[in-house]
Amino acid sequence: MLDFSLSQEQLELQKMTRKFVQTEIIPYMKEWDEQHHFEMGVVQKLAQLGLMGVCIPEKYGGAGMDYNSLAIVCEELEYGDTAYRTAVSVHTGLNSMTLLQWGTEEQKEKYLKPQAEGSKLGAFGLTEPGAGSDAGSLQTRARRDGDSYILNGSKIWISLSDYADHFLIFATVDPSKKHKGITAFIVERNYPGVTTRPIRGKLGIHGGNTGEVILEDVRVPAANRLGDEGEGFKIAMSALDNGRFTVAAGATGLTRACLDASVKYAHERKTFGVEIGKHQLVQQMIAKMEAGYQISQLLVFKSGWLKNQGVRNTRETSLAKWIASDVAFQSASDAIQVHGAYGYSNEYPVERYMRNAKALVIYEGTREIHTIMQAEYALGYREDKILNRMLPPWPFANSGDYL
């Protein structure tokens, strides 16, 4: 039986996160965006509310809620601003959920637990100056040396680079093996040889932190290798199944923010003797935002439902991410249009929404990459197989062994 309703617990989570965003983010966001300020106090408060590990089992320090609860949190956060949803995306979606899926018990105890509790922040380092969509061609090297690996290379466009305590870094043990040489490592910020620097001059997400991670002869214990040598590409792609889910959920919140701002303004602004909401072409833009919001949310919840079942969802998550991010960007552009010249200034938040929304159609698989993926699935050129380690289904088992 299909059930489209949220549980009582999810409704309470939604209400709590919405209130948090209204009181702790929205009143300050214009100023933080102007000052390019990422407020760590917000992250600390999110941790106190259990929102930095909402879908991580309680035994690993999380709130133990289902995967759609993570989507609810992301939708609400991005209603306030993309920066804080991005923080949860990389910390929980890309890093913690990957540790949950692929980590050893020791790695979960040492790294996942403090991350889920929110006392440590996690980030995800896949992209390099010469490798974005074509992640299989990354050049960061990992050389085995006794009980350690020595890592050299640089990562770029890494969200939370200046704040994260732990990085999931993808490096190759043998570039000639292409993606089959890629291996994943948990790298601590305080390891000698790790430096970070922020990227200046971004179009949007001014209230967020994005930067470079430079690795110079960084000695990483072999115990911090996630999965086997050569398994890193598979791990990175499975991490993206969860990261993209959070981006799609966030995009849904951004679309709702565009819709709410546009509806409010359409009632306030008058032209030709009537409020602009009475003009059919303005109604068309608002109708598209409403439809886009509903469609995006359905696609996100379907993807979360599949995660709860413990089955592969790469196809469905890619579709949700592609459609929801495209809808968010179009909605933000239309929200400016509804506001006329005022939308073109930062007197209203819609210009920030559009600058932020552009990132959504670029990161975690560009619009073009998801278009190609969907065509390949439809044409039968691509299919998903069960991985040797799957994300645990929800409700979580009490035992730590999900495999």
Ligand X SMILES: Cc1cc2nc3c(=O)[nH]c(=O)nc-3n(C[C@H](O)[C@H](O)[C@H](O)COP(=O)(O)OP(=O)(O)OC[C@H]3O[C@@H](n4cnc5c(N)ncnc54)[C@H](O)[C@@H]3O)c2cc1C
CB nearer to ligand X: give 66 or 241. Answer: 241
Element (H, E) at 210: strand 210-221
367-378 burial code (b ≥16 CB/10 A, e <16)? bebbebbbeebe
Please check whether residue 194 is in contact with residue 213, taking contact to mean a CB–CB distance below 8 angstroms: yes
Q: How near is the Cβ of 211 to ligand X at its closest, in Å?
A: 9
* Residue 364 a catalytic site member: yes
**Cα–Cα distance measured from residue 180 to residue 69, given in angstroms and rounded to the nearest whole number:** 34
Beta bridge partner(s), residue 210: 159
CB nearer to ligand X: give 133 or 345. Answer: 133
CA angle 312/314/316 to nearest 5° reads 100
**Cα–Cα distance measured from residue 344 to residue 158, given in angstroms and rounded to the nearest whole number:** 29
- The active-site residue, picked from 75, 78, 229, 364, is 364
Strands 194-198 and 148-159: unpaired
CB nearer to ligand X: give 308 or 330. Answer: 330
- What backbone torsions phi and psi does residue 127 show, to the nearest 5 degrees? -65, 140
- What backbone torsions phi and psi does residue 143 show, to the nearest 5 degrees? -115, 125
CB nearer to ligand X: give 141 or 264. Answer: 141
Cα dihedral 68→70→76→79 (10° resolution): -100
Q: How near is the Cβ of 281 to ligand X at its closest, in Å?
A: 30
Measured at CB, which residue is nearest to ligand X? 132
Q: How near is the Cβ of 241 to ligand X at its closest, in Å?
A: 14
Q: How near is the Cβ of 133 to ligand X at its closest, in Å?
A: 3
Asked if the bond preceding 395 is cis, omega within 30° of 0, the reply is yes
CB nearer to ligand X: give 98 or 210. Answer: 210
CB nearer to ligand X: give 131 or 263. Answer: 131
Strands 166-172 and 122-125: parallel
Q: How near is the Cβ of 261 to ligand X at its closest, in Å?
A: 22
Element (H, E) at 153: strand 148-159
Q: How near is the Cβ of 359 to ligand X at its closest, in Å?
A: 4
Residue 137 is classified by DSSP as G
Q: How far is CA 374 from the centre of its chain?
A: 20
Per CB under 6 A, residues contacting ligand X are 90, 124-127, 132-133, 157-159, 205, 210, 359, 362-364, 366, 368-369, 372
Please check whether residue 357 is in contact with residue 332, taking contact to mean a CB–CB distance below 8 angstroms: yes
CB nearer to ligand X: give 204 or 292. Answer: 204
DSSP string, 236-281: HHHHHHHHHHHHHHHHHHHHHHHHHHHHHHHHH-EETTEEGGGSHH
Q: How near is the Cβ of 132 to ligand X at its closest, in Å?
A: 2
What amino acid positions are annotated as catalytic residues?
Answer: 364
